[in-house]
């Protein structure tokens, strides 16, 4: 697994934690406002986008044989 894949997994950790808190322990203390949900989505999608871009750049580079 490369760094790009690992960053996608690492970026999803806080978002999944927040969503699981709401599912497992519903109530006022775990309520997520619209701004918080949008924030989770924006940050997660940003990291995923940058990671996919890095993966595509790495795949498009020709592999040069070592001498």
Can you give the pLDDT at residue 35? 93
Can you give the pLDDT at residue 4? 66
Can you give the pLDDT at residue 34? 92
Percentage of the chain modeled with pLDDT above 70: 85
Q: Average pLDDT of the chain?
A: 79
- Global model pTM greater than 0.85: no
Q: What is the pLDDT of residues 22-51, one digit of tens each?
A: 889 888 887 888 998 898 888 888 877 877
- C-alpha–C-alpha distance, residues 48 and 20, integer Å: 20
Query: Where in the chain are the domains?
Result: 3-60
1-to-7, 10, 34, 45 alpha-carbon distances in Å:
10, 13, 34, 20
């Amino acid at each position: 697994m490369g760094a790009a894949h690992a960053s996608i997994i690492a970026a999803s950790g806080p978002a999944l934690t927040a969503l699981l808190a709401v599912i497992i322990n519903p109530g006022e203390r775990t309520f997520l406002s619209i701004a918080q949900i949008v924030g989770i989505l924006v940050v997660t999608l940003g990291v995923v986008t940058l990671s996919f871009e890095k993966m595509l750049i790495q795949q498009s580079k020709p592999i040069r044989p070592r001498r």
